[in-house]
């Protein structure tokens, strides 16, 4: 049976189905019990009637050779029959009793109950003998009469229940509808809300069954509100940050157009190219951060962070040599974690690029990848640069935050992207002063069991 799509309809079908099932089971049990008690009662009446006939004195029979038919005194009398045999001869019988013994001439039953067919009618017969054993009494009752009495008793019991079922259905429907009114109120409240409204939904007298749904819905609204606020802030910040390199590019282009000699024009064009590079990097960082904010969890695979770090350091070495920096990578062996290869490459590249970019000429930079005994893997980048103050380190993960006075260009998104990638991989980022080189130390720790590899 397919249940209705409506929750109210389902409750109605299930509740009424259970009620009808219980009602039918009760009716069957009542029928069995009433039939048993009725058989016991009427059998006792047959036995009592037979006993009354037995105790009659044989002398009261006027003539042994004369058969006496008892008159029918009640409309129920045709359904009851009796016979009295004296010394094997029929002495007394009811008008509807046969001439022969009701149990048949060949029957050996002298006492007890039997159910049998007589002339196409089913009878319940009780047989007994007198004390002198010369009197045989048969008392019978039509089984159909018992069924009529049984159904009369059941009608008086079950008929009110049958008429009560429609009233019960109406009562159950009203109760179910009232019970589901909070769900309808919740649906109406959500339907009538303004699409821009993200404040919590408040309902009076919320049932405990609806409270989890309402709490989850309000939590969803809160997350959507936070996401939209973040997106608006991100859009505003991105527009503000892009305005600076675009203005610089326009200014240098105007200088190149107005230059009177080749040297000035070449310098302006180079500055224009550098501005384009800065704008391209900023756009790349913004796109990376946008993908992190909007996309679902990436598919995680086994990634060797040690090999990844060596590749990133090899790419950054030419930039470090231009500034006469000494860069060292301590990533021997393998350090396996579960993660997204592209995102982890961006994470390590941002850490190394920041160290190279913001460290002065001739600085030392150290990249380390270490695996602990508990399976956690830590990637750290130390430099001998000026480092950061405590207040700057506290704000280092904020979007578009840059330390004032370092003389280096940047988008201020590197550490923000690093933190977001670490969050996706359930890793932690710590920014401290480097104990070995004296500058800044940024460490990302991936916790959990170490991934086994070949």
Of 57, 52, 47, the residue nearest 111 (C-alpha): 47
Predicted confidence at residue 400, as pLDDT, reads 54
Domain boundaries defined on the chain: 11-163, 197-295, 301-446
pLDDT tens track for 218-252: 888 888 887 777 677 666 656 655 665 677 788 88
Task: Write the pLDDT tens digit of every residue in 22-66.
Answer: 778 877 877 777 777 677 656 756 665 665 665 553 445 444 445
204-215: string of b/e by CB count within 10 Å (b at 16+)? eebeeebeeebe
Sequence-distant contacts of 218-226: CB under 8 A, at least 24 apart: 222/198, 224/198, 225/198
Tell me the CATH number for domain 197-295.
1.10.287
11-163: CATH, from 3.40.50, 1.10.8, 3.30.450, 1.10.10? 3.30.450
Q: State residue 114's pLDDT score.
A: 86
CA distance readout (Å), 396 to 22, 230, 345, 388, 446: 70, 18, 20, 9, 20
Round to whole Å and give the CA distance between 279 and 253: 15
* Cα angle for residues 72, 102, 84 (degrees, 5° grid): 60
Residue 307: both structure tokens together: 């090999």
Query: Under CATH, which architecture does the 301-446 domain have?
Result: 2-Layer Sandwich (3.30)
Other residues' Cβ atoms within 10 Å of the Cβ of residue 365: 23
Give the 3-state DSSP-derived string for the chain, with helices as H, strands as E and coil as C: CCCCCCHHHHHHHHHHHHHHHHHHHHHHHHHHHHHHHHHHHHHHHHHHHHHHHHHCCHHHCCCCCCCEEECCCCCCHHHEEEEEEECCEEEEEECCCCCCCCCCCCCCCCCEEEEEEECCEEEEEEEEECCCCCEEEEEEEEHHHHHHHHHHHHHHHHHHHHHHHHHHHHHHHHHHHHHCHHHHHHHHHHHCCCCCCCCCCCCCCCCCCCHHHHHHHHHHHHHHHHHHHHHHHHHHHHHHHHHHHHHHHHHHHHHHHHCCCHHHHHHHHHHHHHHHHHHHHHHHHHHHHHHHHHCCCCCCEEEEHHHHHHHHHHHHHHHHHHCCCEEEEECCCCCEEEECHHHHHHHHHHHHHHHHHHCCCCCEEEEEEEECCCCCEEEEEEECCCCCCHHHHHCCCCCCCCCCCCCCCCCCCHHHHHHHHHHHCCEEEEEEECCCCCCEEEEEEECCCCCCCC
Which neighbouring-strand residues pair with 112?
127
Tokens coding 170: 């109406």
Whole-prediction pTM: 0.45
- Sheet with 364-371: strands ordered across: 326-330, 364-371, 377-383, 440-446, 427-433
Phi, psi of 364 (to 5 degrees): -110, 140
Residues 407, 394 contacting (CB under 8 angstroms): no
| Cβ atoms within 10 Å, residue 94 | 18
Say how many residues make up the chain: 454
Confidence (pLDDT) at 451: 40
- For 217, the token pair is 């819905």
- Look at residues 71, 108, 102, 73 and name the one whose alpha carbon lies nearest to residue 85: 102
Distance (Å, rounded) from C-alpha 85 to C-alpha 100? 10
Do 353 and 411 touch, CB atoms closer than 8 A? no
414 close to 353: Cβ distance less than 8 angstroms: yes
Please state, as a whole number, how many other Cβ atoms lie within 10 Å of the Cβ of residue 399. Answer: 21
Please state, in angstroms and rounded to a whole number, the distance separating the CA atoms of residues 200 and 7.
25
What pLDDT is recorded for position 188?
81
Q: Which residues pair with 446 in a beta bridge?
A: 377, 427
Question: Please, which residues have CB within 8 angstroms of residue 207's CB and are 6 or more apart in sequence?
Answer: 182
Measure the CA–CA gap between 389 and 440, rounded to whole angstroms. Answer: 10
Using 50 as the pLDDT threshold, list the residues of the chain that sit under it.
57-59, 61-65, 68, 72-74, 404-407, 449-454
């Amino acid at each position: 049976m397919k249940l209705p799509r409506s929750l109210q309809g389902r409750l109605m079908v299930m509740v009424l189905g259970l009620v009808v099932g219980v009602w039918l089971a009760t009716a069957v049990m009542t029928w069995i019990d009433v039939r048993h008690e009725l058989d016991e009662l009427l059998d006792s009446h047959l036995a009592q009637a037979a006993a009354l006939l037995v105790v009659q004195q044989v002398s009261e029979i006027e003539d042994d050779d004369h058969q006496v038919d008892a008159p029918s005194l009640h409309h129920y009398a045709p359904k009851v029959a009796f016979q009295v045999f004296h010394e094997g001869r029929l002495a007394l019988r009811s008008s509807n009793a046969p001439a022969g013994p009701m149990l048949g001439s060949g029957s050996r039953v002298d006492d007890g109950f039997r159910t049998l067919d007589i002339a196409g009618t089913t009878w319940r017969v009780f047989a007994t003998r007198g004390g002198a054993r010369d009197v045989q009494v048969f008392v019978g009752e039509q089984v159909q009469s018992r069924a009529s009495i049984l159904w009369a008793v059941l009608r008086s019991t079950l008929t009110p229940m049958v008429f009560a079922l429609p009233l019960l259905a109406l009562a159950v429907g009203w109760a179910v509808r009232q019970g589901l009114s909070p769900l309808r109120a919740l649906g109406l409240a959500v339907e009538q809300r303004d699409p821009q409204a993200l404040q919590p939904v408040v309902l009076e007298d919320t049932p405990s069954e609806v409270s989890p749904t309402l709490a989850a819905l309000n939590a969803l609204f809160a997350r959507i509100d936070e996401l939209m606020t973040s997106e608006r802030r991100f859009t505003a910040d991105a527009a503000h940050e892009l305005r600076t390199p675009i203005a610089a590019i326009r200014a240098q282009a105007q200088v190149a157009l107005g230059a009177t000699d080749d040297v000035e024009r070449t310098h302006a064009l180079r500055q224009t190219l550098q501005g384009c590079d800065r704008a391209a990097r900023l756009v790349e960082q913004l796109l990376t951060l946008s993908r992190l904010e909007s996309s679902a969890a990436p598919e995680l695979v086994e990634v060797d962070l040690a090999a990844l770090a060596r590749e990133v350091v090899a790419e950054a070495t030419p930039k470090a040599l231009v500034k006469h920096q000494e860069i060292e990578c301590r990533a021997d062996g393998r350090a396996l974690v579960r993660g997204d290869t592209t995102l982890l490459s961006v994470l390590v590249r941002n850490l190394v690029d920041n160290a190279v970019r913001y460290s002065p000429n001739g600085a030392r930079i150290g990249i380390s990848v270490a695996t602990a005994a508990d399976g956690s893997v830590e990637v750290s980048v130390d430099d001998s640069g000026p480092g950061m103050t405590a207040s700057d380190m506290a704000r280092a993960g904020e979007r578009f935050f840059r330390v004032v006075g370092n003389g280096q260009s940047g988008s201020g998104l590197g550490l923000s992207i690093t933190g977001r990638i670490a969050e996706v991989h359930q890793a932690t980022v710590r920014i401290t002063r480097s104990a070995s080189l004296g500058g800044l130390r940024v460490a990302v720790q991936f916790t959990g069991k170490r991934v086994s590899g070949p």
